[in-house]
Amino acid sequence: MNDSKTWSGRFNEPVSELVKKYTGSIDFDKRLAKWDIQGSLAHAEMLEQAGVLSAADVAAIQQGMAEILSDIENGRIEWSLDLEDVHMNIEKRLTDKIGDAGKRLHTGRSRNDQVATDIRLWLRDEISQIRLLIQSLQLALVELAEANADVVMPGFTHLQVAQPVSFGHHMLAYVEMLGRDDERMADCRKRVNRMPLGAAALAGTTYPIRREVTAELLGFEQICQNSLDAVSDRDFAIEFTAAASLLMVHLSRLSEELILWMSPRFGFIDIADRFCTGSSIMPQKKNPDVPELVRGKSGRVIGHLTGLIMLMKSQPLAYNKDNQEDKEPLFDTVDTLIDTLRIYTDMMRGVSVKPENMRAAVMQGFATATDLADYLVKKGMPFRDSHEVVAKAVRHADDQGVDLSDLPLAVLQSFSDLVDEDVYLVLTPEGSLNARNHLGGTAPEQVLQQAARWKKQLLESLQN
């Protein structure tokens, strides 16, 4: 009989080595050790206040846990597969150090509510870090937008040249997306920050615990109100992974644009060499590996979201061993997100813009056609009529291989007698930008106002 198991008294033979390896989680859940100790210390303090543990026992637990935490931080601990998970490894080490006081620590709780608490404590801290990284990336994009507020580039729909936009305006679109990501993370954190500890295995405990005390000690904003739900709920993990997936989708979209823009066919930007690689056979190549990998890793995170949803979809109440499978996808999602945000922020500070190539691209797709239609409307023509007139002018310019702004005044007047010499003011890309000087518009003045608003908000948040 393997008496290292806390439940071995029920069984007539030891667990096989194959089952140990298959069911053990210590290889990955050991990263929860810091939060497991944090939860245990709060639980012990609450038990003392409730009269369940003596002051001497709690003092011994605190001293023993301090030594174990030091051992973990300095790499002096050996994790045992025989002890299954991080909880039993720490408890066994504590008991070896302080004796019976260590055995009393588990009074009034179960590994079911213990692990649920550990994950929430850990994820709560990670979300706080992720939010700071999102805001740092936003600030890098805002600064890039501010520096390029008056740089004109083609805006696209259907990946066809549509209208001129400011490059700064384009960057601020992603700032807005990331702002929503930050809001989702903040909102998700509220539901992560609810305490399951005290639910015990599934039905609560007969000991006179005071859950509100433990919650206050651990900084939980709320307490899970139903013991069955408390130990079996993984909604918070799914919700976080969903928010992470949306964030990765946004970064994947930006990555796709960076990849296209860096191509010689576009030539809009360059990415600093430290974020690129070469080819083993083609010496001229400079490959945008970082944005390509971000684009790929978005699928990885979305896959974790799907996996977690499938994990939970058929589970009856309450806790099931299936839930051991929640940690690896959740850990990997957090690691992927943090690594991606860090490298992306650095990479965006290494992006250089090529205004002349962007402006040349604007001139290739009749980007100011809508401006000409609006010009005619302001002269009194109904918009549907102006749309038809301009479409004919575009077809003529296309046949001639020139831009609308290159057509002589007489030619433009042949399509409408409302056209006058001032038409050329609206046919330039810069005129098109400046004409859209309203809230949310692409005019450089608006871009600078939006950039200033975001910069003030982000700096205040990051400094706090």
pLDDT above 70 as % of the chain? 98
**What is the helix (H) or strand (E) element at residue 38, kind and residue range?**
helix 33-49
Q: Could you state, in order of their start, the residue ranges of all structural domains in the chain?
A: 13-107, 123-144+157-206+214-360, 369-427
Question: What angle in degrees, to the nearest 10, is found between the helix axes of 369-378 and 383-400?
Answer: 140
- As given in the structure block, the two tokens for residue 260 are 């296209």
**What is the helix (H) or strand (E) element at residue 87, kind and residue range?**
helix 86-98
Burial class of residue 138, CB neighbours in 10 A (0-12, 13-18, 19+): buried
The C-alpha atoms of residue 88 and residue 248 are separated, in whole angstroms, by 36
The C-alpha atoms of residue 348 and residue 315 are separated, in whole angstroms, by 43
Within 10 Å of residue 21's Cβ, how many Cβ atoms? 10
Domain 13-107, CATH class in plain words = mainly alpha
Query: What 8-state DSSP symbol labels residue 15?
Result: P
Does residue 195 sit in helix, strand or coil? strand
CA 416 to chain centre: 52
CATH code of 123-144+157-206+214-360, in short, is 1.20.200.10
Does residue 112 sit in helix, strand or coil? helix
Over range 102-109, report the average pLDDT: 97
Residue 2 confidence (pLDDT):
41
| Fold classification of 369-427 (topology level) | Ribonucleotide Reductase Protein R1; domain 1 (1.10.40)
Asked whether the CA dihedral 152, 157, 159, 160 is positive or negative, the reply is negative
Over range 149-163, report the average pLDDT: 96
Average predicted confidence (pLDDT) for the chain: 95
Tell me the pLDDT tens digit for each residue of 261-301: 999 999 999 999 999 999 889 988 999 999 999 999 999 99
Strands (E), 317-451: 351-353
Burial class of residue 274, CB neighbours in 10 A (0-12, 13-18, 19+): exposed
Catalytic residue among 16, 158, 280, 314: 158
Confidence of residue 13 (pLDDT cuts 50, 70, 90): confident
Does residue 287 sit in helix, strand or coil? strand
Tell me the pLDDT tens digit for each residue of 173-231: 999 999 999 999 999 999 999 999 999 999 999 999 999 999 999 999 999 999 999 99
Over range 87-93, report the average pLDDT: 97
The C-alpha atoms of residue 80 and residue 26 are separated, in whole angstroms, by 7
Does residue 354 sit in helix, strand or coil? coil
Predicted TM-score of the model (pTM): 0.94
Contacts 24+ apart (CB under 8 A), 420-428: 423/372, 423/375, 426/368, 426/371, 426/372, 426/374, 426/375, 427/368, 427/371, 427/372, 427/403, 428/368
Q: Is the pLDDT of residue 9 over 70?
A: no
Residue 1 confidence (pLDDT):
33
Mark residue 320 as left, alpha or beta (left: phi above 0; alpha: psi -120 to 50; beta: remaining). beta
Residues 6+ apart with CB under 8 A from 313: none
The C-alpha atoms of residue 150 and residue 147 are separated, in whole angstroms, by 8
Task: List the alpha helices (DSSP H) in 222-368.
Answer: 227-232, 235-262, 289-312, 327-348, 355-362
Tell me the pLDDT tens digit for each residue of 306-364: 999 999 999 999 999 999 999 999 999 999 999 999 999 999 999 999 999 999 999 98
What are the CA-CA distances from residue 200 to residues 26, 157, 284 (Å)?
Answer: 21, 55, 63
Catalytic residue among 4, 263, 279, 438: 279
What are the CA-CA distances from residue 84 to residues 14, 15, 231 (Å)?
Answer: 13, 11, 19
The C-alpha atoms of residue 464 and residue 132 are separated, in whole angstroms, by 10
The C-alpha atoms of residue 437 and residue 414 are separated, in whole angstroms, by 30
Question: Which amino acid would we find at residue 316?
Answer: P
pLDDT above 90 as % of the chain? 94
Q: Is the pLDDT of residue 386 over 60?
A: yes
Q: Among this protein's residues, is 158 annotated catalytic?
A: yes
What are the CA-CA distances from residue 67 to residues 22, 30, 82, 88, 143 (Å)?
Answer: 30, 16, 22, 16, 46
